Amino acid sequence: MEREIGMLEEQYIDYNFSSEEFESKYTYLGKDLGATWSVEATTFRIWAPVAEQCHVIGYKEGEVSSKEVLFKVGMKRGEKGTWSITILGNLEGVYYTYQVVVNGESVEACDPYAKAVGINGKRAMVLNMERCNPPGWEKDCNPNKELTSTDAVIYEMHIRDFSSDQHSGIQNKGTFVGVTEVGTVNSYGQSTGLDYLKDLGITHVHLLPVYDYGSIDESVRNETYNWGYDPVNYNVPEGSYSTNAWDGEVRVREMKEMVQTLHNNGISVVMDVVYNHVYDAQTFCMNQIVPGYFSRRDEEGRYSNGSYCGNDTASERSMVHQYIVQSILYWMEEYHMDGFRFDLVGLLDIKVMNAIVEQVHRVRPDVIFYGEGWDMPTGMTKDHYKLAIQMNAQLTPGLAYFNDSMRDLLKGSYSKETERGYINGAKGKVEALKANIMGLPYWSPAPAQTVQYVSCHDDFGIFDRLKVACPGETLETLAAYNRLAAAVVFLSQGIPFVHAGEEFLRSKQDKDGNLISNSYMEPDEVNSIKWNELHDPVHAGVREYYKGLIAFRKAHPAFRLRTASEVREAIRFLGDTSGESIAYRIEAKDIQGEEASQILVIFNPETSPISLSLPEGEWKIYIRENQAGIRILGTANGRVAIPEISTMVLVK
Ligand code: CA
């Protein structure tokens, strides 16, 4: 594929940022970039190696329209391309920017290392971080820290979608605070929000971007919608999710309160991070201070565009590497994040990813990492650098990747919306599916590196996809397809992942009833989780099934093996199955230290029942037709019948 070329800047100067010479002269390893506050004084340090002059400007307000300047002070050139200045007095709550002269031109930019910002992220803010900590914050920790990645059940959710529906029963719609509300119910009195999540049994909430992004005007909150894959300030929470985006402190405090509340309810928090590109390469603060440094460009100054978002991050450059690693450490230490999902991680190099995993795990081995390891064409600026793509998975053992093989085998190719997959009648998928059930698609060396899913925020959700691919089929049949997909995901080795609401047949429709794919800037009416649908018996039935699958998986460590050798030893596929059905036996230590039990899993995607001879003995049935859980549904021996489009699981 030919490389996509982004915008050409008019006056391009090649500083040779990726050369050894530049890096040895200007790599600053200190941890004090940004504003370091104390009651007595604040020190500002900026990395601006090609600047001719730097000033820090203090403002009373965070809005760009407010011109009241408190101070403007020249900064002194320091080591490794940094400039710094200490200003005496308590600057808590003061907003600031850097004015930098590069090539004779003066620019004013936000601090790339800002920890708080004013409205729309144009000015940084000096913050007393401790004042933003909720009571008990020092005791807050990951409630699932004993779990490893394959024990996780991940629930991918957008802050707005979770509460914006008129029937959510949640007061603070579309905000961090909305996630913390308890006792909320839909119009039928059924639990919604946090109570609902807790009951479902998931272990990790994965939040779509919650750092400060650029596509929403924070001053007119909730007028426009976006998923938020357009980073502006990497180390600051998004303002439109706070109850007051004007005061830089509020978003920090409310995001911490959200994390603490989720933790107190047994739920770990994963953050979606988008280091692979920025909202706008020209105006991104680091690119203004050090012209174009953060982004990959060719010899003529054209931005590389493997991300299809206008620019790709030059993670291979020493100070971008430092920046990304420090940013992750910051979210982990300051906000107690328990995991990170890397958007288009295939554009970042494996050195930065391994540095992240190593440095985080040195402090917190319980933090999980996964990302989109798609192979995209990008203009790497150094030789011999490898990218964090699926095919390099063995080089990034601490990083898991989304398994699109499983996804596409189950529902059909993501790019062919009417194509069917294994769950809805496509033939010839059995052999390929077996490797995926083992958590070992062709690129993955271990189930701990394989994220298993059938849908996520991208493209159609699974229910809408089924409607598009199977016109005229009944709701009951579509629900059966969906149950089968969920059963394969949860009964496979790997890390199971659910798109919020898929468990009760979430649909994204506009007001004319059109199904919407890639709804990244559609209104809340399209994107919100429709909580009243829990009242529909078919929708509610699918939810009960997901809940049962989660409980069953949690009760059996045999589904949560970590290595390829453990899986190969534990799983045996049965040969005498009919049609497209798949049957396998797992024999592994089921409860730590206790006797191994045997589990038999049978998937029947056929439109008629099949029968199968059970291995010797009496088997207890836990999953059958539309029921799943940790309660025995019946017993069987000899031959057993598996109804059409369903899963059966038996334990001996
Ligand atoms: Ca923002």
Tens of pLDDT, residues 422-475: 999 999 999 999 999 999 999 999 999 999 999 999 999 999 999 999 999 999
Task: Give percent above pLDDT 90 in the chain.
Answer: 94
d(Cα 441, Cα 492) in Å, to the nearest integer?
12
Distance of CA 258 from the midpoint of ligand 1 (Å): 18
- Going by C-beta distance under 8 Å and a sequence separation of 6 or more, which residues neighbour residue 139? none
Task: Report CA dihedral (484, 489, 491, 497) to the nearest 10 degrees.
Answer: -140
Element (H, E) at 235: strand 231-237
Main-chain phi, psi angles of 217, to 5 degrees: -80, 110
Cα of 60 to ligand 1 centre, how many Å? Answer: 20
Separation of CA 212 and ligand 1 centre (Å):
4
Residue 221 C-alpha to ligand 1 middle, in angstroms? Answer: 10
Residue carrying structure tokens 């206008």: 310
Contact (Cβ atoms closer than 8 angstroms) between residue 343 and residue 520: no
Q: Token pair of 291, please?
A: 């012209």
Among all residues, which ones are annotated catalytic?
343, 372
> Which tokens in the block code for residue 498?
């659910």
State the sign of the Cα–Cα–Cα–Cα dihedral 140, 161, 551, 561: negative
Instruction: Tell me, in angstroms, the distance from the centre of ligand 1 to residue 381's CA.
Output: 30
State pLDDT tens for residues 280-338.
Answer: 999 999 999 999 999 999 988 999 999 999 999 999 999 999 999 999 999 999 999 99
What pTM was computed for the model? 0.96
Q: How far apart are the CA of 588 and the centre of ligand 1, in A?
A: 48
Q: Which residue has the tokens 């009242």?
A: 535
Tens-digit pLDDT profile for residues 577-612: 889 999 999 987 655 555 668 999 999 999 999 999
Per-residue confidence band for 575, with pLDDT thresholds at 50, 70 and 90 = confident
Taking a 5 Å cut-off on Cβ, the residues next to ion ligand 1 are 212, 239
Distance 55 CA to ligand 1 centre (A): 25
Compute the mean pLDDT over every residue in the chain, rounded to the nearest whole number: 95
Nearest to 317 by CA among 19, 533, 49: 19
Tell me the CA–centroid distance for residue 273 and ligand 1, in Å: 14
Distance CA 633, CA 629 (A): 9
* pLDDT value for 1: 34
Nearest CA among 169, 188, 197, 200 for reference residue 537: 188
Q: Is the pLDDT of residue 272 over 80?
A: yes
CB 209 within 8 A of CB 227: yes
User: Over the stretch 60-112, which tens digit does the pLDDT of each residue have?
Assistant: 999 999 999 999 999 999 999 999 999 999 999 999 999 999 999 999 999 99
pLDDT tens readout for residues 371-406: 999 999 999 999 999 999 999 999 999 999 999 999
- Between strands 610-613 and 619-624, the pairing is unpaired
Using CA of residue 24, residue 30, residue 31, residue 37, what is the dihedral sign? Answer: negative
- For residue 590, the model assigns a pLDDT of 54
Helix, strand and coil percent figures for the chain, each rounded to 5: 30, 25, 45
CA of residue 198 to ligand 1 center, whole Å:
29
Between 632 and 11, the more confident residue is 632
Query: What is the distance of C-alpha 534 from the center of its chain?
Result: 25
Q: Do residues 83 and 76 lie in contact, with contact meaning Cβ atoms separated by under 8 Å?
A: yes
Cα 227 to middle of ligand 1, angstroms: 12
Minimal CA–CA distance to 518: which of 628, 421, 415? 415
Distance (Å) from CA 385 to ligand 1 centroid: 33
Q: How far is CA 624 from CA 604, 607, 618, 644, in A?
A: 11, 16, 16, 11
- Answer whether 348's CB lies under 8 Å from 296's CB: no
Q: Is the dihedral of CA 298, 302, 308, 311 positive or negative?
A: positive
Mean pLDDT, range 493-497, rounded to an integer: 98
Say how many Å lie between the CA of residue 597 and the centre of ligand 1.
52
CA of 232 relative to ligand 1 center, distance in Å: 7
pLDDT at 596 (0 to 100): 67
Residues 6 or more apart whose Cβ sits within 8 Å of residue 422: 409, 410, 429, 430, 433, 488, 580, 605
**Cα 159 to ligand 1 centroid, rounded to whole Å:** 14
pLDDT tens, 353-377? 999 999 999 999 999 999 999 999 9
Dist. CA 280 → ligand 1 center (Å): 13
User: Rg of the chain over CA atoms, in angstroms?
Assistant: 26
- Segments in 364-424 forming alpha helices (H): 404-411
Q: What's the CA angle centered on 502, arms 496 and 503, to 5 degrees?
A: 80
The Cα 311–Cα 5 span in angstroms is 9
Give me ligand 1 centre to Cα 237, in Å: 8
Q: Residue 341 forms beta bridges with which residues?
A: 272, 370
| Ligand 1: centre distance to CA 64 (Å) | 14
Q: Which of the pair, 211 or 1, is modelled with greater confidence?
A: 211
| Half-sphere exposure in the Cβ direction for 202 (13 Å, CA) | 28
Residue 506 CA, ligand 1 centroid: distance in Å: 27
pLDDT per residue over 213-270, tens digit each? Answer: 999 999 997 789 999 999 999 999 999 999 999 999 999 999 999 999 999 999 999 9
Q: Above 80 in pLDDT, residue 59?
A: yes
Helix (H) or strand (E) segment spanning residue 26: helix 20-26
Tell me how far the alpha carbon of residue 208 lies from the centroid of ligand 1, in angstroms.
14
pLDDT-derived band of residue 634, with 50, 70 and 90 as boundaries?
Answer: very high
Contact present, 235 and 211 (Cβ < 8 Å)? yes
How far is the centre of ligand 1, averaged over its atoms, from the C-alpha of 120 (Å)?
A: 5
Our CA angle for 122, 126, 129, nearest 5°, is: 120
